[in-house]
Structure 1
Amino acid sequence: MTRIDNPIVEFSKEDARRLHHSHDDALVVSIRAGDYNMHQVLVDNRSSADILYYPAFQQMGIGKERLVPTNAPLIGFGGTRVYPLGAVTLFVTVGDYPQQITKDVAFLVVDWSFDYNAILGRPTLNS
C-alpha cells in the first residue's frame, strides 16, 4: 500500500453537487497542540487565521512570556474588532498514526468567549 506523507483532505462544491441534504454542520476535531490534547477545535475554511482562545491557552500551562506581540486586529467576532493578546507557535498533530500530519502553527491568542477551544483556518491544513 502506498503511504501518503502529506495528506490533504478537501471537499469542493463539485463533491457536494449530488447531495440531497442541506448540511452546514461545522467540522469539529480533536488535535494535539504542543503537549496538550485539545478537543472542540473548529476547522473553518473561511477563516484566514488560526485562533487559540485564552481559556485553552491558560489550561495548556503556556506562560504569557511565550506570546509574541501583535497589533493587527481581527474582524469577524460579531462584527467587532478584537485585538489578540499575542501569537504563539505550537506543534500541531492532526490524525492518528500512520495517517497523521504534524506542523508548526502560529496561533493568535484571543481573550474571547467561544464554544470552541481553537479555530484552524484553511492555510493551516493545506500548506
Structure 2
Amino acid sequence: MSVARLSVRDANQDLKRARMEISPVLSFLNEDKIGTIQPHDDALVVILRIGGYDVNKMMVDQGSGAKIMYLDLYKGLNLKLEDLTPYSSPLVSFDGKVVVPRGQIWLPMQTGLEVVEVDFIVVDAYLPYTAIVARPWLHTLGAVSSTLHQKVKYPSECQVKEILGNQSVARQCLVAATQHKPEAESSAHVGEDL
C-alpha cells in the first residue's frame, strides 16, 4: 500500500511539474478583433499600474527600446526630481527635436499579478501620451502585443492574460498631437538662408 501511495504521489508531482513547464500559447485570432473598430491604424494605448497608481494613456511601442515617461506623469506620481539618476544621452522626439532627458528612474509596473521593474527615461517634452512602454517591458513580461487586435497578451499562472487597448483614447491622443502647436522657433532662425 505504501508503494501505491508513493507512485500516486510521484505521479501528482510529475503532473505539477509538467503544468509548470507548459507555457500557454500567445496568439491572436479574428475573434480577438471583436469590440474594435476595423479597419484602423490606431496606436495601442492601455492603462497600466505604476507605483500603485492606474496610469491612463500609456502607449505600447513594440518598435522602440526606450521606455519614456513624461514629466507631467512623473510629478503626478508624487515623485521627486532628486530621485532621478543621470541619463546623459539625448533623444529625438516625434517632432524631430532633440530632447535632453531629466534623468531616469526604476519603477515597479504591475500588470495583473505580474510586477516588472521598468527603467523609465523621464523627459520634459510634449506628447499626448503619459508614457511609452517598449520592447524591454514586453520581453520581460513575456508578452506579445498587437495593434490590429488592440491587445497585449502575456502568460500568467499557466493562463493567457490580456490587456485591452482603448481606441477612443488612442484617437484622442492622435488629434491632440496633430493640433499641438510647437513652440515658436527662436528669432535667431528667422530670416536665415538655409
Question: Under TM normalisation by the shorter chain, which class is it?
Answer: 0.7 to 0.9
2:105 maps to which residue?
Answer: 88
**Deviation readout 1:89-116 (Å, 9 max, x if unpaired):** 100012x3xxx42100000000011111
Q: Is the 8 A contact 1:8 1:125 kept in 2?
A: no
Report deviation, 1:3.
Answer: 7.4
TM-score calculated relative to the size of structure 2: 0.52
Q: CA RMSD in A?
A: 2.4
Instruction: Please state which structure has a larger fraction of its residues in strand.
Output: 1
How far, CA to CA, are the matches of 1:35 and 1:64 in structure 2? 19
CA deviation digits over 1:42-69, x for unaligned, max 9?
A: 0011121000000010111001111001
Cα separation, 2, equivalents of 1:119 and 1:93: 15
Matching residue's letter, 1:115: P
Mapping of 1:16-95 within 5 angstroms?
22-94=39-111
- Structure 1 unpaired stretches of 5+: 12-20
Distance 1:104 1:62 in 2: 16
Instruction: Name whichever structure is richer in helix by fraction.
Output: 2
Aligned to 2:121, which of 79, 102, 108? 108
- Where in structure 2 are there 5+ consecutive unaligned residues? 1-18, 29-37, 141-194
Higher CA-based Rg: 2
CA distance in 2, matches of 1:33, 1:79: 28
Runs of 4+ in 1 over 4 A off after TM superposition: 6-11
Q: TM-score, normalised by structure 1?
A: 0.77
Shift of 1:8: 8.8
Q: Which amino acid aligns with 2:58?
A: V
Superimposed CA distance per residue, residues 24-47 of structure 1 (whole angstroms, 9 cap, x where no aligned partner): 211111111112211110001112
> Sequence identity of aligned pairs in percent?
36
- Following the alignment from structure 2 to structure 1, what is the Cα–Cα distance between the partners of residues 27 and 99? 29
Equivalent pairs counted in the alignment come to 112
